Structure 1
Amino acid sequence: MTAPRRLVVEADGGSRGNPGPAGYGAVVLDPHDAGTLAEAAEYIGVATNNVAEYKGLIAGLRAVKELFPDTPVEVRVRMDSKLVVEQMSGRWKIKHPDMKPLAAEAASILPASSVTYEWIPRERNKHADRLANEAMDAGGRGGQWGRASSTAGLETPRTPAAPDSPPPGDAVAGAAKVRAAMAAARPATAAPQTEPTAFPQTGPAAAPQVGWGSAPDLGAPATFILLRHGETALTPEKRFSGSGGSDPELSETGRRQAARAAEAFAARGTVQEIVSSPLRRCRETASAVAARLGLEVRIDEGLRETDFGAWEGLTFAEVRERHAADLTAWLASPDAAPTGGGESFAEVAERVSATRDRLVARYAGRTVLLVTHVTPVKTLVRLALGAPPESLFRMELSPASVSTVAYYADGNPSLRLLNDTSHLR
């Protein structure tokens, strides 16, 4: 029996606007020498980050299939998209209608037993990230280009398209297609591809930078000021209080906290919009700020707190006494839900991610106050940092505290503030 060929696929996707002009990149690597066996990149028109990430995964797996159509393989997929990795690993449910067919397509390319998934930080996914940005750059320029070879790492302009070719903006062809031809598998002695330099140029235009090298011309980000609601009667007793409980109102302390937050935001003068969870404690907090700023409050269901099921209104000690096994499972896995049909953290993350993407698109370049709860705030922070689900238990988030995350046009989030309570002192 032929031993399976071991391979690594690294894939990435991005959207400048989310949704906005989007592209993906994927690379197939030999794990023995990190040599590049194939590359793929494509501008896909207007799409979300998640769609672009899935498209990159599909391209990488198809590249493996094309390289080794008759050879058994073992593929390790590495991506910086926690959503795709967790969903394709089966640990997170796939609820979004746009994701389900893409996940099904990815799963159909190779036998499930031959593919495993690993999350990696963005800084370790530079090759695929660079390809995705080159694809988006080409789409933005309305041009097409090809890669001379996967080993040389050079780019060669294509001959201009014939007059009867589909225009760059054609709905079928997309704004620009830049999928690289698959290279033949290189021998194990081939030299590994070198990493790109700190500020790579892709032809006449520079690719947008990530991390410490963020470009200064990305425009104003969508800035979310995350305000946790003020105290309720349940807060000092540390009782579970989510979407499925009694929907308590603010206590007297909570109303004072909301008033102080309103004064602080009025002094800063930066808030342009207010969006609130539908739960009463958030609506009361948001109304206090809105009255002071002369703004209206929009309600978004995606900002509601976790449904804690049968644990609503109980303390941690009471839950441990009555539902010990379920509590242990909940603390150990983001897929475990509270007793009695509550929401798992994985489900909350999916809901919050979809809400984030929708609000970022709606409020691009604006500063928005999101009045919400502990779990949504922590989830937004966790996703911005690319941190694992267990990090939710390692953050302190006080009543009426302020945290801030900015979302830039290239898809890069920036955590600017966490659990600030200076306005309450």
Structure 2
Amino acid sequence: MIVYADGGSRGNPGIAGSGTVVYAADGKTVLRDIVYVVGKRATNNVAEYHGMLRGLEAARDLGAQTLEVFMDSKLVVEQMSGRWKIKHADMQKLALEARPLLDHFDRVTFTWVPRAKNSAADALSNQAMDAAAAGHAPGIVGGTSVPEQAGSEQAEPSEGERGADDCEIVATAQSTSGTPSHWTGATSPPTRFVLLRHGQTEMSAAKQYSGHSDPSLTDLGVQQAAAAARMLQSRGGIDAIVTSPLTRCVQTAEAAAKLLGLEVEIIDELIEQDFGEWEGRTFDEAHAMSPHLHEEWLSNPTVTPPGGESLQILHNRVRAVRRDLQQRYECRTVLVVSHVTPIKSFIRQALDAGPHVVSRMFLDLASLSVVEFFGEEARVGSTLRIFNDTAHLR
């Protein structure tokens, strides 16, 4: 048999539900569909696990011998396939529930599919969230008829269809205030990036250039990361977390992941600029080492610090990351934990501005900024919504 499963939460944690469709081996004949209320305070990932569990239970009851499970949650697919560790306690518990269910089958495979390929289960999960919002207790609350073409034979929607259909469902899960569609001309929710600078380190406290150096957070930095995490938890709506590979960012990201119930993805290209011979120096010390070069570097993005990396090279690599994330998390919200210069690059992209804006921005430790990128139909393709917010640190 074939299972398509999904789950979601409105707020993260928040009102949560899952949807599951069990097909015969032809991928067309619907054997069972399930609308399941997870609860009023659960994470998106927990809801996805419940969708998978309901599929395993249904396939077992229907007598399946082999099972193919398709989900648009890379996290659940990779964890159930044994390639990723399960760190979050709630998901560890759910994975343990899955083990005896797996024993009923000769073979079970887990495969990731794009969200557009999982629209039937996604629609059922939204019905479950509606039921949870209406006060239904956790449990199966029903099922609906599913179009025959749903499942593994679904056609890939066109770009226009994806904007209208795929993103419409996501609108209810977006965090913070509404989108400025009345003047951007956007017809679907944006892809939102919440940009969090890491907390304090000894090098940042000493006002030293800290590029590829790898200091840990100070005690104050740990407190700053925790404060940012609490604020993000209260706001909700984060769908994924990505971070620079350096320790100070990973620590900051993991503080948020712990409260949000999400895994952290490390992206090497989110690392800070390589300052070369200026690494570990203060601004004045670097200027004294090579005054003319340092002065030119501040105004010319193509100038490279001695043995380091130019601002333009950094901007190019961060722009590639942003485009990839925008494609992978279309219409969703991604927490990006990084450093001063990569975050400024995201903001520069949102403003569609030249490199001159970089030296005119100041970002505090553990500060938050928010940028949004819209679909191609929008008159205005991107916006800066929040800049250098530190209210959570007061």
| CA drift at 1:314 | 0.3
Residues 382, 291 of structure 1: alpha-carbon distance in 2 compared, 3 angstrom cutoff: same
Q: Does residue 191 of structure 2 align to residue 225 of structure 1? A: no
Deviation string 1:209-261 (CA, Å, 9 cap, x unpaired) is x9973235x21211100000001011122110012x2x110011100000011
Separation in structure 2 between the aligned mates of residue 237 and residue 390 of structure 1, nearest angstrom = 26
Unmatched tracts of structure 1, length 5 or more: 1-174, 176-209
Q: Which residue of the partner structure matches residue 184 of structure 2?
A: 214
Separation in structure 1 between the aligned mates of residue 193 and residue 354 of structure 2, nearest angstrom = 21
Deviation string 1:365-406 (CA, Å, 9 cap, x unpaired) is 111100001001111111211222121111110000000011
Q: Does residue 292 of structure 2 align to residue 325 of structure 1? A: yes
Q: Does residue 314 of structure 2 align to residue 348 of structure 1? A: yes
State how 1:26-425 maps to structure 2 within 5 Å. Answer: 213-215=183-185, 218-243=187-212, 245=213, 247-340=214-307, 342-410=308-376, 412-425=381-394
Separation in structure 1 between the aligned mates of residue 182 and residue 301 of structure 2, nearest angstrom = 30
Q: Which residue of the partner structure matches residue 98 of structure 2?
A: none
Separation in structure 1 between the aligned mates of residue 353 and residue 331 of structure 2, nearest angstrom = 25
Separation in structure 1 between the aligned mates of residue 271 and residue 182 of structure 2, nearest angstrom = 33
Separation in structure 2 between the aligned mates of residue 330 and residue 395 of structure 1, nearest angstrom = 16
Separation in structure 2 between the aligned mates of residue 281 and residue 275 of structure 1, nearest angstrom = 13
Relative to the length of structure 2, the TM-score reads 0.52
Separation in structure 2 between the aligned mates of residue 318 and residue 211 of structure 1, nearest angstrom = 47
Q: Which residue of the partner structure matches residue 50 of structure 2?
A: none
Q: Which residue of the partner structure matches residue 8 of structure 1?
A: none
Identical amino acids, percent of aligned pairs: 45
Separation in structure 2 between the aligned mates of residue 413 and residue 302 of structure 1, nearest angstrom = 22
Separation in structure 1 between the aligned mates of residue 259 and residue 342 of structure 2, nearest angstrom = 25
* SS of alignment partner, residue 385 of structure 2: strand
* SS of alignment partner, residue 203 of structure 2: coil
| CA drift at 1:325 | 2.5
Separation in structure 1 between the aligned mates of residue 355 and residue 188 of structure 2, nearest angstrom = 31
Amino acid at match of 1:219: S
More helix by share: 2
Relative to the length of structure 1, the TM-score reads 0.49
Amino acid at match of 2:269: G
Amino acid at match of 1:317: D
Is contact 1:323-1:339 (8 Å) kept? no
* SS of alignment partner, residue 405 of structure 1: strand
Separation in structure 1 between the aligned mates of residue 313 and residue 182 of structure 2, nearest angstrom = 32
Separation in structure 1 between the aligned mates of residue 293 and residue 248 of structure 2, nearest angstrom = 28
CA RMSD of superposed structures (Å): 2.1
Residues 212, 335 of structure 1: alpha-carbon distance in 2 compared, 3 angstrom cutoff: farther
Separation in structure 1 between the aligned mates of residue 306 and residue 374 of structure 2, nearest angstrom = 38
Separation in structure 2 between the aligned mates of residue 356 and residue 403 of structure 1, nearest angstrom = 15
